[in-house]
Structure 1
Amino acid sequence: MPLSTWGSMGYMTEQKSAPQGAARPAPPKGKILVLGGGIVGVTTAYSLLCRGFDVTLIERNSDVAEATSRANAGLVSVGGSQPWNAPNVPLTVLKTLGRADSPYLFRLRAFPAVIPWGLRFLMHCRTATYDRSCRASAELVTYSLDRFGALVDREGLRFDRQQNGVLKYFQDAGALAADHRSTAKLADAGLDFRQLSRDETVALEPTLAPQADRIAGGLYFPKDESGDASAFAKALAERCRALGATILTNTTISAIESSNGRISAVMTDRGALTADHYVLCAGPAAALLARPLGLNLPIYPAKGYSVTIETNGSIALPKVPFLDWGRKVCVTRFGNRIRATGYAEFGGYDLSLTPSRIQTLHRSLIELFPALEGATSIHEWAGLRPITPDGLPILGQSPIENLFLNVGHGPQGWGLSAGCAAILADVITGRSPDVPIGSFAYSRNH
């Protein structure tokens, strides 16, 4: 696979008050090159622009947010902040091994490369380790949601935004109770939720009424949001251009050159690009780009699928995005579009569509909304989520002096983007971030 970027707040508005008696730092100067134009890269570019930097962003595709951010679930969600490495996941993988409908599918082509990553993932499935990761993730996502709201309000971006919360419902009372217990542990980390009975679940989202007999109850996260992540990134990229950013699309990275512990240039098909600082935001490809520099980023791509159906506006669609825990499918509305997303398929960087996966998602939509039967405007998609063994992003300074990292956000890229961008800008400008970042440091994996 070629080394390339994937598409996978500001100084003027977010500057922090200096402690009383301390000298206020001068506005920073310098040129920054952001590698990767997905949701994380664009949000990072915006944050750095607003801090006073001269920013250039490079992206392999013809536009920003055309890969991992293209047709995902579209959630900005605290409710989905728990990492994937829950203590029950190893047993779930074993029980469903070889099944075409398994939520976790390992392709033969993933071996042996996935084995070292997989062993580290299993180590983080221990209860104590998982609980620590959950708490760190919840704190970061809660902070990020606040920054996201401030950014959207400030810039007035349009992206089919829905501020109706997110619902997770269960067919099994035991699964609901277990999820409630793990979620309740995070309440003091800022996670806002409430448990719903069957009737309350259906009252919240009336389109689920035909499913009522198979619903045990749900968890509702009222502060969560949804929208079109790709549209958000494209609108924010336009704002970045207005603020003076250079965005180079159709630009492929061939190598990152270093000398004396510093990045000296990024080699692309446009020639060598140089800057004072470099920020790696390359989603699933980050590990490939970092490896020749001697950096080991424990990121493995997990393919997810989506099916989006365009309606004529006459069909009742859900107002509240929801996760059907039994089907392991997330359903989100975008105007007159309805999308089902799901699965975690480990098969390297392959982006081909597995027909059985697409058919299952399509069938789930039809079962939930029978009026969609016969719809002809259907978009099928697959994207790669950049997963770390502990489910947490890698954020901050790298061992290379002028290279910074904002990678490994897993399925939470949009939900984490605004907070991680603000934190990274703090790190680069020498400010103390609002959220402790030790849990997200590169050094935690080494």
Structure 2
Amino acid sequence: MKIVILGSGVVGVTSAWYLAKAGHDVTVIDRQPAAALETSFANAGEISPGYSTPWAAPGIPLKAVKWMFQKHAPLVIRPRAGLAAWRWMAQMLANCTQARYAVNKGRMVRVAEYSRDCLIALREETGLEYDHRTRGTLEVFRNQQAIDAVAKDIEILKAGGVPFEMLDRAGCVAAEPGLKAASHKLVGGLRLPGDETGDCHMFTTALAEKAAALGVKFHYNTAINRARADGNRIVAVETSMGDVTADIFIGALGSYTPAFLKPLGLDLPVYPVKGYSITVPVVDETKAPVSTVMDEAYKVAITRLGSRIRVGGMAEIAGFEMDLPKARQETLTLSVEDLFGGAGDQSQAVFWSGLRPMTPDGTPVIGPTRYGNLYLNTGHGTLGWTMSCGSARVLSDLISGVKPEIEASDLAISRYAA
């Protein structure tokens, strides 16, 4: 079949790869001059199936109120965020029950664990190099209350068969020797040995080259204007290079997917939650992280990428604004210097922001729509890199008429109809 994918982030490119491997004629269209130049460009670098957790959780509403009065809060809500933001937050609050949290986290872990397995297989097949490491994720806690709060996550990890270790202060230092100088600030940690790290931009651009070698056509610098429908089918997508026709269309436009779908009468509850990162060169190996360390206090991920340290985090409700406030960089710098002081050269920090396409329940939207030839692969939030390969493989199987290897019926946009 002739398939057109709208979007060339990590989700769009992995979709192109699996669909091309399945024998389809694939074209990718993007307004950017190359692949992975938006949300996939400088994310936190973690591939963390075990850390796949909905933001909508019991206790979050109260925490959000407290964060509003903190200088280095992990969540910032700008007053001019708009009605779309408040509507999305209301939907998110509806998911902050124990029952919904269990369902949502179970779905997320299912997709993420499968995705990690798909990534390993893809890496073995292609030999891709992207500064990857397979040394797990360590979430560190600064007080006993934080450790007690993670109990609900551990129960879900157990139910899903996800390996984990609860570590004391000495165990955290054994896993991440660079924490030695800061060990007195920690009371323990949760280690997920199955997690990985890697440069998402490097991976995506390398995979795009492999996909092109398979025959995938990439049209960059191309604006995507709107889709034209006839009944329950999309007949064409209007772009700056003219009308594009196909047997199947896939929306993988991240935070911009809802605007593309709205004229079609499809209401996709995806909101652009802004995140930030800094990237600094390593100047002292003995003080640097060896993999990913999650700083639970600031909700910041500190990841080793080759000779660099990537520090990513924050959640800002601010619409599509792409400014770079100094205060956000200060929070990221505070976290990494507090735990790995002197490991990186902060004078050479590269500051970046990206829009994470977040659903109110945390689970991405993968699968068909009410239009027979329109599929979606979007809404991965902070876990696009983690879930990309599995999401793409599931979508490829659905389109190819092959039963996916994991349950996928509860991943499509139809779950919001209820």
Q: Calculate the TM-score normalised by the size of structure 2.
A: 0.97
Distance 1:374 1:430, change over 3 A: closer
State which of 171, 190, 212 in structure 1 corresponds to 2:142: 171
CA distance in 2, matches of 1:36, 1:260: 24
**Where does structure 1 differ by over 4 angstroms across 4 or more consecutive aligned residues?**
312-315, 372-375
**Root-mean-square deviation (Å):** 1.4
CA distance in 2, matches of 1:189, 1:282: 30
Equivalence map 1:344-355=2 (5 Å): 344-355=315-326
State which of 5, 17, 39 in structure 1 corresponds to 2:10: 39
**Alignment correspondent of 1:226:** 197
**Alignment correspondent of 1:441:** 412
State which of 322, 338, 356 in structure 1 corresponds to 2:327: 356
State which of 306, 318, 324 in structure 1 corresponds to 2:295: 324
Equivalence map 1:124-135=2 (5 Å): 124-135=95-106
CA contact (8 A) 1:57 1:245 kept: yes
CA distance in 2, matches of 1:263, 1:89: 40
Equivalence map 1:303-322=2 (5 Å): 303-312=274-283, 316-322=287-293
C-alpha deviation, 1:96, in angstroms: 1.8
C-alpha deviation, 1:274, in angstroms: 1.2
CA contact (8 A) 2:292 2:303 kept: yes
Amino acid in structure 1 at the alignment position of 2:237: V
- Gap runs ≥5 in structure 2: none
Worse-matched range after superposition: 192-201 or 306-315: 306-315
Q: Are 2:110 and 1:136 aligned?
A: no
State which of 168, 174, 188 in structure 2 corresponds to 1:197: 168
Per-residue CA deviation, residues 162-202 of structure 1 (Å, 9 max, x unaligned), is 01111111011121122134223332313221111111111
CA contact (8 A) 1:144 1:420 kept: yes
Tell me, what secondary structure is at the counterpart of 1:69?
coil
State which of 258, 271, 274 in structure 1 corresponds to 2:242: 271
Tell me, what secondary structure is at the counterpart of 2:301?
strand
CA contact (8 A) 1:180 1:195 kept: no
Amino acid in structure 1 at the alignment position of 2:409: G
CA distance in 1, matches of 2:345, 2:196: 30
Amino acid in structure 2 at the alignment position of 1:323: M
Per-residue CA deviation, residues 375-398 of structure 1 (Å, 9 max, x unaligned), is 432210000111111111111111
CA contact (8 A) 1:38 1:64 kept: yes
Tell me, what secondary structure is at the counterpart of 2:415?
helix
**Alignment correspondent of 1:261:** 232
CA contact (8 A) 1:280 1:405 kept: yes
Q: Give the paired residue count.
A: 417
Amino acid in structure 2 at the alignment position of 1:32: I
State which of 48, 55, 61 in structure 1 corresponds to 2:32: 61
Percent identity between the two aligned chains: 39
C-alpha deviation, 1:314, in angstroms: 5.8
Per-residue CA deviation, residues 268-295 of structure 1 (Å, 9 max, x unaligned), is 1111111110011111111111111111
Worse-matched range after superposition: 431-440 or 60-69: 431-440
Tell me, what secondary structure is at the counterpart of 2:342?
helix
Amino acid in structure 1 at the alignment position of 2:23: G
Q: Are 2:162 and 1:162 aligned?
A: no
Tell me, what secondary structure is at the counterpart of 2:268?
coil
Equivalence map 1:35-434=2 (5 Å): 35-312=6-283, 316-372=287-343, 375-434=346-405
C-alpha deviation, 1:151, in angstroms: 0.6
- Gap runs ≥5 in structure 1: 1-29
Per-residue CA deviation, residues 21-48 of structure 1 (Å, 9 max, x unaligned), is xxxxxxxxx1100000000000000010
CA distance in 2, matches of 1:174, 1:98: 20
